[in-house]
């Protein structure tokens, strides 16, 4: 490889990386003011989650064909800002609908590790969805206003499905196991947080498989709903299969109620790993 070409690529990559770091710093300070974040420990935790979710969300903007440095940076900043706004909207929706009895950030500051786990999962899930949206639909050659509206509408529908999936899972556990998983998260039950963590990740991976640049917005919404029904079913099926086969000496009810978080991690890692493979098979 030509040494000058290599140096040029390294310099350009450094510029793009520096651009991302600048965006992350600005985003974190805005987020800190919005949620009134206090305390160094909480800042470190939330900033780490925010950086991870933003990197997942906008990573597709840094790949593919270059349209020139200035044009690249304009598109990156615009859609990165949109991604940040969507992350905040998703956070507020979850805070208001699922955990309406408390404020997530305040609970995290009080040491509620279960809610922190759920918050991390939700940010990662949103990042996965936004990444797939950008990767499938972004193009400088189409009407940007139409693209913007499509991304926002699809995102809000996906956010609705994410929230709905948690509420359905909650009601199923109440019906079958007499467990209110949301109330247990309020009480800092780590196992409950871990179970919700995998739900978010699994649903987001499967819903991301529904996106394709060949589909219009209506078709995408229909496909997303079909994937949502399938993913909700498959989550429940996987958990009960693991319950009966891999942990015959215990059960989901005891694991959650007694907060046996090591077994909860074991179950959820298996669930996520299987769905991870399915996501790439269907994408």
pLDDT in tens, 231-275: 788 777 777 777 777 777 777 778 888 888 888 888 888 878 877
- The band of 40, judged by pLDDT with boundaries at 50, 70 and 90, is low
Distance CA 126, CA 121 (A): 9
Residue in this structure with the two tokens 């800002």, named with its chain if needed = 81
| Residue 142, CA distances (Å) to 13, 145, 146, 147, 216 in order | 26, 9, 8, 7, 13
Mean pLDDT of 188-208: 87
Is residue 188 left, alpha or beta, with left meaning phi > 0 and alpha meaning psi from -120 to 50?
A: left
Q: What is the mean pLDDT of residues 58-87?
A: 84
Q: What is the pLDDT of residue 280?
A: 67
Q: How confident is the model at residue 190 (pLDDT cuts 50, 70, 90)?
A: very high
Overall average pLDDT of the 86-110 stretch: 80
How many Cβ atoms from other residues are within 10 Å of residue 153's Cβ? 14
Higher pLDDT, 121 or 274: 121
The residue ranking higher by pLDDT, 174 or 274, is 174
CA 160, CA 105: separation in Å to the nearest integer?
A: 21
**Is the pLDDT confidence value at 154 over 80?**
yes
DSSP tag of 246? T
C-alpha 129 chain-centroid distance: 7
Q: Please state, in angstroms and rounded to a whole number, the distance separating the CA atoms of residues 29 and 191.
A: 31
* pLDDT value of residue 282: 62
Strand, coil or helix: 63: coil
Q: What is the mean pLDDT of the segment spanning 77-96? A: 87
Contact (CB, 8 A) for 213 and 278: no
- Report the pLDDT value the prediction gives residue 24, as an integer from 0 to 100: 86
Is the pLDDT at 276 greater than 80? The verdict is no
This prediction has a pTM of: 0.84
In this prediction, residues 16-34 reach a mean pLDDT of 86
Query: Quick one: residue 259, left, alpha or beta (phi over 0 = left, psi -120 to 50 = alpha)?
Result: left
> Which SS3 state, helix, strand or coil, does residue 162 take?
helix
Q: Is the pLDDT of residue 167 over 80?
A: yes
Say whether pLDDT at 74 is over 60. Answer: yes
């Amino acid at each position: 490889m030509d040494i000058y070409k290599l140096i040029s690529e390294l310099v350009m990559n450094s510029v793009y990386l520096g651009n991302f770091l600048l965006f992350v710093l600005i985003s974190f300070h805005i987020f800190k003011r919005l949620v009134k974040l206090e305390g160094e420990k909480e800042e470190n935790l939330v900033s780490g989650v925010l950086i991870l979710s933003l990197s997942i969300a906008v990573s597709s903007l840094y790949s593919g064909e270059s349209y020139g440095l200035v044009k690249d940076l304009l598109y990156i900043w615009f859609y990165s800002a949109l991604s940040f706004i969507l992350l905040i909207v998703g956070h507020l929706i979850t805070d208001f609908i699922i955990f309406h009895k408390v404020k997530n950030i305040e609970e995290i500051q009080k040491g509620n590790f279960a809610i922190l786990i759920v918050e991390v999962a939700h940010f990662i899930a949103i990042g996965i969805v936004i990444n797939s949206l950008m990767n499938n639909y972004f193009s400088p050659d189409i009407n940007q206003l139409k693209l913007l509206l499509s991304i926002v509408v699809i995102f809000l529908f996906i956010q609705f499905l994410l929230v709905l999936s948690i509420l359905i899972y909650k009601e199923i556990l109440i019906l079958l196991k007499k467990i209110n998983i949301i109330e247990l998260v309020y009480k800092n039950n780590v196992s409950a947080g871990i179970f919700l963590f995998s739900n978010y990740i699994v649903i987001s991976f499967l819903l991301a498989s529904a996106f394709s640049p060949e589909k219009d917005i209506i078709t995408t919404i229909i496909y997303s709903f079909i994937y949502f029904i399938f993913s909700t079913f498959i989550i429940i099926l996987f958990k009960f299969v693991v319950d009966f086969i891999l942990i015959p000496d215990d059960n989901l009810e005891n694991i959650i109620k007694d907060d046996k978080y090591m077994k909860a991690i074991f179950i959820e890692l298996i669930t996520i790993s299987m769905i991870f493979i399915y996501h790439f098979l269907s994408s």
